[in-house]
A and B are shown apart, each in its own frame.
Chain A
């Protein structure tokens, strides 16, 4: 297990060694008190011909730079192994064998079986005044009598079984028969660093591992890591995996006016998979690159000494000293952080913020998602997104989310490029995304890249992982309501990988066992989803990724009414990237489908029983090019989306008299062209500008819209850790969710712009300051924004939304405005990580129709359903040990606006209600605290399975948060107020995950 910030810890700056100053026989060193020349593998670097010894009493590694130097105790947690006089001493804890005693072990061969010898020396005193073999008697002031002090040698022998150490007690004869065992093949370095080369090590075509590879305990297997390294060597790339080492790149003179182009790949040392999203930057912070899906990066740096840093949320930090003599290639092997909780939660860390011209980007990983406490213990992408500043929802059990005052349909939700129209399962209790297969999650709240279009509020881009390139493994998770299974691995070694994930629920089974009087008896609720991804790398420059996703939901809680909806997505993406240039071409195509069905009356209403269904289908083709021209990175491309919507189809059930009919199919083509320029100046400025020519051609009736969209953002970084940014962008949306409920409902329909429904347009201006302080430990950001929207949809009172041929008559066009300030403090290092965010924002709507007194709220501005001015979120994780940590999540916000009755009257024999102005009141404030204890698996390398568990409680305080409030007369003479609370009590949960 790699330590944090190890790169800053040199070998010869350890603690002062423990001295024992009294007369006695014996010594505390392992074998001989003399320092011997040996080799140390420390902190990712290998030191040769040093003066070293081992204190067998404290199990410390004692090192001296020269024979005359003062010895120090090197940081043991950074020491992998040492070799003294041909004998290897291994720090097993370094390799994650956590139940191993502290210290060093000698590998021995016991008739073909590996045995570990650990020598310890106990410092003992016992009364006595005699001198003898044990020691010399002396007057100890603490004992007030003569004592004999001595070190007693204790040799312990261990074998390794299923990843755990087991002590054995071999007899003397057997011990004597044991012979020192060499380090297994594959674990020895290919190149050693001599003392003379300590300051500058030039390594070409060689691979050096900074860790024992997976399967190191296995005697007769060649490790996968080793294979990965060897494979990389065969590709004649320079691979760096050491941190405190200097790499020489290129040949002198191979520069362009002193500027050298450094290219390379970042790979996972364990799986050989490319690592996406790694921030690669130089010491000045002005030159940076982020690795693409193939793990590639490219930097143009001045010749000379430099320090390259590699940062990613899930990988251990890498700092590489380089001497740049010319253009060249340097591949990086990074190691995954074994303990995910140790990682930062948000990957768009502060330093990355300082490098991007754009703003409003939040990046998450599945590691983060799985450790944010959620109801029922199921990692939830949407719920985690909701912990970010500027992201809100109308309630706990709601599928959608609202970004910076936008409505839920104004978010483009992409899964591997395919559009997800309903991102929720089980009424929104779970999200549609399986964290087993999810890789990167990016949420663009502003400065939306020019390659995205079609929604005016935000883009949530979720990509699934590539499968493990080396071996097949999987995971199984069990929760209270759901279970999930994932498998991944190579189909063709080195070429093709797959990842497969599936989830299902047993809530249906539970519902059948609930007592009849619970109100849920006879109900049904279930969901399933499947992800399948296959990636094929043709060669270094070409790869093809194919992904499929299918989900199904069905529930029925009342009589003979059943809801069903389903997502189906299929996408294929071909990527071509030239290794030596920052040029790439990406072509993708796919098909998305969302359908829902309502069946009602099949048992009780033989004449009126019906089935109502809607469906959205779309096919898309996208092609994008990124081309580097000096300081400019030009991106351009074309999008084409073809929509075919069935806005409503009614059919009879059985012998029902319902007349089958269907609303006119809606179809349209949304072609777009875009071009953008990311200009990274040599100075502290950088700019990102682009134009997207968005158009929309609706068929039947024919209607054409053309809307150019603009993107512009800029950054000024006077300091490496301080940036100011501003940006403005405009967006257009041609597909609209028709819903008059606050949350996304299973029966919501989507309609296209055309006759009666104009495209929604929005623009947003934002500015912010980003400051990283306390040695990059704390990121502080403050962003403000103003958003304008037109042609947003609202609804007249009593609007009929389904099967309405004249839907436009029931719609109301509104103008929207949203503004706010988001403050975020994010801590990414140390035992405590997480973030605290506060958002003040408003989101208001105003009718555009000019209906006079009949207009909503008389034509005045009114609160949007998701307007919650104050919003405070605290998400964190405190790590006690590598295995144990607690996560917490605190959420407070002002209650959302609601329309409630203010008047009552008799109509006929019943009391009826008269409602307030729309959204004029608010439900009670929302507060929730979640806690979870995370138990990570032990890191036994040879163990076949790794079990992790999460024990948590959602809504620890048991607060009855209001989802909504309503009043009912229930047909009587009195009016009663009620509050709906979705999770009105503590929800304890246990989630077990097994990796194999």
Chain B
């Protein structure tokens, strides 16, 4: 036994004996009277507030999206102005607060259809922070998108979200398209099997997008300046297809009240960061929304009035590395209609055809859809109108 192996085994025995295992306990079919209010009052843009219910743990997401509280939602300012919410779908209400003054305080009033009323505490408008130096850095095998945030006067707590969009392409751009469903006799004639692709059948370029799920949260409290440097926005593996061609990230940041940030941080922690040896006992933290008609009822949520700022970053393919070794990539065709694979033309001179290779135009090769149709990877041909290149 090699010395290193022995060391590894001993180490493993002693230090890696502690593990985390899947675990489930039975829960009762509880009913929850709490409602969930998510979102902030966005000054200078459309406010989006979503109402929801609490479901027993283990409820499938589809079940959770079936029912939503409904009622009347109003954003009120301490200057007497108000904006009534407009119901969109799935509990989402929008408010046209794009013209709302960026001073004073705001609150949200919710009157459900059954007459139950909830009211958030007044929240002074937090001025928008400045995003600077949004950049991408390579660290080992990942690309980190980081930024610096500077708060306005008296603003020390920050939240940021992002939307990412990326362009990518299929491994091959086919010259010919397979014509399925031919009779047996016609398959012997290659000219009947293939055709030239139409103009709208170019599935080489695709675009995809996603929004952040977890907000970024940080506080500069305790610092001499209300800035956060190197705030991490997202980390992408270098082998991720998102950065294979052109990647764009739009970061939206806002300042929060100190208690609002603490509430959101607590919510994030108790949902994702529990279970270690020194984790605090998890618990629910009271937000700033109270039920005015029945104090025993609670609403989960914290409403801040915020102004947001946005910044955009493009990343080229300079960080991208293929996640596979091209020499190991075997070009496997899609099965035919009978479920069989045709390997007849799979090899050229006893070498497998590879996705990244350049097949000779004098030969015809089968290509799987995932190698030739970028949509197979989840994207679409819907190119954003602001996308900066001519790919299509």
**A→B interface (CB under 8 Å):** 376, 395, 397-398, 427-428, 480-481, 507, 510-511, 513-515, 518-520, 604-608, 610, 650, 656-659, 661, 740-743, 745-747, 795, 797-798, 800, 803, 853-854, 865, 899-915, 918-919, 921, 960, 962-985, 987-988
The complex places the Cα of A904 from the Cα of B300 at a distance, in Å, of 11
The answer on a CB contact under 8 Å between A960 and B21 is: yes
The complex places the Cα of A737 from the Cα of B10 at a distance, in Å, of 36
Task: Looking at the assembled complex, report how far the CB atom of B249 sits from the nearest CB atom of chain A, in whole angstroms.
Answer: 16
Give the residues in chain B near A905, CB-CB below 8 Å.
34, 36, 52-55, 64, 300
The answer on a CB contact under 8 Å between A900 and B55 is: no
Task: Looking at the assembled complex, report how far the CB atom of A853 sits from the nearest CB atom of chain B, in whole angstroms.
Answer: 6
Give the residues in chain A near B53, CB-CB below 8 Å.
905
Give the residues in chain A near B16, CB-CB below 8 Å.
514, 518-520
The answer on a CB contact under 8 Å between A971 and B56 is: no
The answer on a CB contact under 8 Å between B25 and A915 is: no
8 Å CB interface, B192-208 against A: none
Task: Looking at the assembled complex, report how far the CB atom of A150 sits from the nearest CB atom of chain B, in whole angstroms.
Answer: 59
Given A798-B262, A798-B263, A982-B18, 16 further pairs, Cβ under 8 A = A397-B18, A510-B11, A604-B230, A740-B281, A741-B277, A903-B54, A903-B57, A906-B36, A907-B301, A908-B213, A908-B215, A911-B64, A915-B284, A963-B277, A966-B279, A981-B20
The answer on a CB contact under 8 Å between B271 and A912 is: yes
The answer on a CB contact under 8 Å between B277 and A982 is: yes
The complex places the Cα of A839 from the Cα of B279 at a distance, in Å, of 28
Task: Looking at the assembled complex, report how far the CB atom of B94 sits from the nearest CB atom of chain A, in whole angstroms.
Answer: 15
Which residue of A is nearest B219, CB measured?
A608
The answer on a CB contact under 8 Å between B213 and A910 is: yes
| Also in contact, A906 and B52, with CB within 8 A (given A607-B223, A977-B22) | yes
| Also in contact, A979 and B281, with CB within 8 A (given A905-B53, A967-B274) | no
The answer on a CB contact under 8 Å between A978 and B21 is: yes
The complex places the Cα of A229 from the Cα of B189 at a distance, in Å, of 115
The complex places the Cα of A854 from the Cα of B298 at a distance, in Å, of 10
Task: Looking at the assembled complex, report how far the CB atom of B136 sits from the nearest CB atom of chain A, in whole angstroms.
Answer: 16
Give the residues in chain B near A968, CB-CB below 8 Å.
271-275
Give the residues in chain B near A970, CB-CB below 8 Å.
272
The answer on a CB contact under 8 Å between A980 and B266 is: no
B183 at the interface (CB under 8 A from A): no
Which residue of A is nearest B232, CB measured?
A604
The complex places the Cα of A981 from the Cα of B58 at a distance, in Å, of 23
The answer on a CB contact under 8 Å between B11 and A743 is: no
The complex places the Cα of A15 from the Cα of B266 at a distance, in Å, of 79
The answer on a CB contact under 8 Å between A984 and B18 is: yes
Which residue of A is nearest B227, CB measured?
A607
Task: Looking at the assembled complex, report how far the CB atom of B92 sits from the nearest CB atom of chain A, in whole angstroms.
Answer: 11
The answer on a CB contact under 8 Å between A657 and B22 is: no
The complex places the Cα of A747 from the Cα of B280 at a distance, in Å, of 12
The complex places the Cα of A145 from the Cα of B222 at a distance, in Å, of 107
The answer on a CB contact under 8 Å between A918 and B281 is: yes
The answer on a CB contact under 8 Å between B14 and A510 is: yes
15 residue pairs of the A-B complex, CB under 8 angstroms, read: A428-B277, A519-B16, A604-B230, A659-B222, A661-B222, A743-B278, A903-B57, A904-B59, A906-B36, A906-B50, A914-B300, A964-B274, A965-B25, A977-B23, A978-B22
The answer on a CB contact under 8 Å between B7 and A608 is: no
The complex places the Cα of A975 from the Cα of B266 at a distance, in Å, of 17
| Also in contact, A915 and B270, with CB within 8 A (given A604-B230, A968-B275) | yes
Task: Looking at the assembled complex, report how far the CB atom of B39 sits from the nearest CB atom of chain A, in whole angstroms.
Answer: 8
The answer on a CB contact under 8 Å between B267 and A912 is: yes
Give the residues in chain B near A975, CB-CB below 8 Å.
57-58
The complex places the Cα of A610 from the Cα of B223 at a distance, in Å, of 10
Task: Looking at the assembled complex, report how far the CB atom of A219 sits from the nearest CB atom of chain B, in whole angstroms.
Answer: 46
Contact of A902 among B8, B20, B56, B64 (CB under 8 A): B56
Give the residues in chain A near B28, CB-CB below 8 Å.
902
The answer on a CB contact under 8 Å between B230 and A607 is: yes
The answer on a CB contact under 8 Å between B229 and A865 is: no
Which residue of A is nearest B65, CB measured?
A906
Give the residues in chain B near A661, CB-CB below 8 Å.
222
The answer on a CB contact under 8 Å between A510 and B263 is: no
Task: Looking at the assembled complex, report how far the CB atom of A799 sits from the nearest CB atom of chain B, in whole angstroms.
Answer: 8
B72 at the interface (CB under 8 A from A): no
Give the residues in chain A near B300, CB-CB below 8 Å.
905, 907, 912, 914
Contact of A514 among B11, B64, B222 (CB under 8 A): B11
Give the residues in chain A near B23, CB-CB below 8 Å.
962, 965, 977-979
The answer on a CB contact under 8 Å between A513 and B8 is: yes
B220 at the interface (CB under 8 A from A): yes
Which residue of B is nearest A921, CB measured?
B25
Interface centre among A480, A519, A963, A966 (most CB of B within 10 A): A966
The complex places the Cα of A396 from the Cα of B315 at a distance, in Å, of 48
Contact of A978 among B59, B275, B280, B282 (CB under 8 A): B275
Give the residues in chain B near A428, CB-CB below 8 Å.
277
Which residue of B is nearest A988, CB measured?
B13
The complex places the Cα of A607 from the Cα of B285 at a distance, in Å, of 29
B15 at the interface (CB under 8 A from A): yes
8 Å CB interface, B116-131 against A: none
The answer on a CB contact under 8 Å between B278 and A746 is: yes
The answer on a CB contact under 8 Å between A915 and B282 is: yes
Interface size on B, residues (CB 8 A): 79
8 Å CB interface, B172-225 against A: 211-215, 218, 220, 222-225
Contact of A507 among B14, B25, B30 (CB under 8 A): B14
Which residue of B is nearest A965, CB measured?
B23
The answer on a CB contact under 8 Å between A741 and B27 is: no
The answer on a CB contact under 8 Å between A913 and B271 is: yes
The answer on a CB contact under 8 Å between A798 and B224 is: no
The answer on a CB contact under 8 Å between A918 and B283 is: yes
B81 at the interface (CB under 8 A from A): no
The complex places the Cα of A428 from the Cα of B277 at a distance, in Å, of 10
Give the residues in chain A near B214, CB-CB below 8 Å.
910, 971
The complex places the Cα of A444 from the Cα of B39 at a distance, in Å, of 55
B4 at the interface (CB under 8 A from A): yes
The complex places the Cα of A657 from the Cα of B227 at a distance, in Å, of 9
Task: Looking at the assembled complex, report how far the CB atom of A73 sits from the nearest CB atom of chain B, in whole angstroms.
Answer: 52
Interface centre among A481, A519, A901, A903 (most CB of B within 10 A): A903
The answer on a CB contact under 8 Å between B14 and A964 is: no
Give the residues in chain A near B295, CB-CB below 8 Å.
853
Give the residues in chain A near B7, CB-CB below 8 Å.
510, 513
The complex places the Cα of A387 from the Cα of B310 at a distance, in Å, of 60
Give the residues in chain A near B58, CB-CB below 8 Å.
904, 975
Task: Looking at the assembled complex, report how far the CB atom of A98 sits from the nearest CB atom of chain B, in whole angstroms.
Answer: 33
B80 at the interface (CB under 8 A from A): no
Give the residues in chain B near A797, CB-CB below 8 Å.
266, 283-286
Which residue of A is nearest B212, CB measured?
A909
The complex places the Cα of A610 from the Cα of B231 at a distance, in Å, of 16
Task: Looking at the assembled complex, report how far the CB atom of A990 sits from the nearest CB atom of chain B, in whole angstroms.
Answer: 11
Which residue of B is nearest A604, CB measured?
B230
Task: Looking at the assembled complex, report how far the CB atom of B288 sits from the nearest CB atom of chain A, in whole angstroms.
Answer: 13
B115 at the interface (CB under 8 A from A): no
Contact with A along B351-390 (1 / 0, CB 8 A): 0000000000000000000000000000000000000000
The answer on a CB contact under 8 Å between B266 and A741 is: no
| Also in contact, A904 and B211, with CB within 8 A (given A966-B282, A979-B21) | no
Task: Looking at the assembled complex, report how far the CB atom of B166 sits from the nearest CB atom of chain A, in whole angstroms.
Answer: 18
B19 at the interface (CB under 8 A from A): yes
The answer on a CB contact under 8 Å between B281 and A742 is: yes
Which residue of B is nearest A607, CB measured?
B229
The answer on a CB contact under 8 Å between A745 and B278 is: yes
The complex places the Cα of A317 from the Cα of B199 at a distance, in Å, of 103
| Also in contact, A914 and B284, with CB within 8 A (given A480-B14, A610-B222) | yes
Contact with A along B28-46 (1 / 0, CB 8 A): 1010101010110000000
Which residue of A is nearest B215, CB measured?
A908
B276 at the interface (CB under 8 A from A): yes
The answer on a CB contact under 8 Å between B281 and A865 is: yes
| Also in contact, A515 and B8, with CB within 8 A (given A606-B230, A607-B228) | yes
Give the residues in chain A near B318, CB-CB below 8 Å.
none
B323 at the interface (CB under 8 A from A): no
Task: Looking at the assembled complex, report how far the CB atom of A11 sits from the nearest CB atom of chain B, in whole angstroms.
Answer: 54
Give the residues in chain A near B15, CB-CB below 8 Å.
507, 510-511, 514, 520
